[in-house]
Amino acid sequence: MGLNILKKVPNVNFIGYRKVAFLISAALLVLGIGSLVVKGGPSYGIDFAGGINVQLKFQNEIELPDLRDALETIGHEGMTVQRFGMEGDNEYLMRLVQSDIETDVLRQEIDAVLAEAMAEAGHEIQRVEMVGPKVGADLRQKALEAMFYAVLLIAIYISGRFEQRWWAAGIMAASLSGAMYLLGLIGIDTGFLTIIALLVALGLCWRLKLNYALGAVVALVHDVFITVGIFSLLNKEFDLTIVAALLTIIGYSLNDTIIVFDRIRENLRNRISKDFGEVINRSINQTLSRTVLTSGTTLLVVASLFIFGGGVIHDFALALLIGIGVGTYSSIFVASPILLVFQPQEEEPNAPAPAEA
């Protein structure tokens, strides 16, 4: 017998709250996308923008303006200094947009300046990382492509598993690849090309009536955009660790959505109600105990990483905290209501059950 925290299956009308949920999602998306537009896109870390990062740690507490004044005496242009990690860690991150400086020379310059200006603070240079601008642009392009192909493969998998429509999914993939190739010949920026590709994928799911895939993909795009938007609102940098977090969020959100979809498909086959909204409500309530347990325990682990993991994985843990919370919400309040709008065809009572994955 599985572990349940709810003594009996609840009877919450989740579908009845879908309009409120859509308003909340729309508000978060508008805020996040608005922030990205105002700021000219995400704030890229050196992984994507190129430059040099220097992580500093002090034994004693110091004032950020004093550190900034001391480091400015080195004379390099385009320097920013900010606190790194949690309050009280006494860790700071110095960033230079230049990438033509010898890292050993820079390390010696910083040591000399801090030893003279802040000798009592006891500094330590924990790491010096440099990435060239071309490498950063290549990494940015690869990261966007990775997220797009992850979503596309998920759409194909869900179409095949839940609707047994591998041919339609293959047509969608071929059409999308052709469209992206033609648009790529025009020389469109990779970021815009990825957004266009996602919109085309959603349009093809709708046109080919791949309803389960449509619901899942909309929920995944919803989760990624809200996480990136909140990072923009918090002025957090966007680097390779955040891309890793986004891919993790896509996988986690998909797992939650598939659990709910699987129960919906099973209840449709058993014809527990003629009202499709009631079928969805019953399915969400039947899987609610598992959802709360899985998300709750995962969030506890990620919250521990966020609090105790140190500055290096602080933003990674923050992205996971946001994404897992939003992913759990979207599987109930985004993916399932979209399935209600684009209602899949009912299976014949005597039809053979689709193979389980």
* 154-198 pLDDT tens trace: 878 888 877 777 888 788 777 777 777 777 777 777 677 777 777
With contact defined as beta carbons under 8 Å apart, do 307 and 88 qualify?
no
**Cβ–Cβ < 8 Å for 180, 198:** no
| Alpha-carbon gap, residue 186 to 208, rounded angstroms | 27
CATH architecture of 14-43+135-341: Up-down Bundle (1.20)
Task: Read off the amino acid at residue 298.
Answer: T
Instruction: Give start-end residues of each CATH 1.20.1640.10 domain in the chain.
Output: 14-43+135-341
Query: What does each of the 357 residues of the chain score in pLDDT, given as a tens digit?
Result: 455 666 677 888 888 898 999 999 999 999 999 999 998 888 887 777 778 888 888 888 888 888 888 888 888 777 888 887 767 778 888 888 776 788 888 888 888 888 888 888 888 888 888 877 677 777 777 777 787 788 778 878 888 877 777 888 788 777 777 777 777 777 777 677 777 777 777 787 788 788 888 888 888 889 989 999 999 999 888 888 888 888 888 888 888 888 888 899 888 888 888 888 899 999 999 998 888 888 889 999 999 988 887 777 888 899 999 999 998 999 889 988 888 887 765 555 544 444 443
Q: What is the pTM of this model?
A: 0.78
Question: Which residue(s) pair with 123 in the sheet?
Answer: 58
Q: What CA–CA distance (Å, rounded) separates 112 from 125?
A: 12
Left, alpha or beta for 101 (phi > 0: left; psi -120 to 50: alpha)? beta
Q: Under a CB-based contact definition with an 8 Å cutoff, are residues 165 and 159 in contact?
A: yes
Which H or E element spans position 53? strand 51-58
Q: Which pLDDT value is given to residue 241? A: 85
Q: How far is CA 191 from CA 46, 140, 143, 158, 262, in A?
A: 18, 9, 10, 25, 33
What pLDDT was estimated at residue 354? 47
pLDDT tens profile 18-51: 899 999 999 999 999 999 999 888 888 777 777 8
The DSSP line for 79-135 is EEEEE-SSTTS-EEEEEES---S-HHHHHHHHHHHHHHHSGGG-EEEEEEEEE-HHH
Q: 51-131 maps to which CATH number?
A: 3.30.70.100
pLDDT value, residue 6: 62
Where does residue 346 fall: left (phi above 0), alpha (psi -120 to 50 degrees), or beta otherwise? beta
Residues of each domain in the chain carrying CATH 3.30.70.100: 51-131
Question: What's residue 251's pLDDT?
Answer: 84
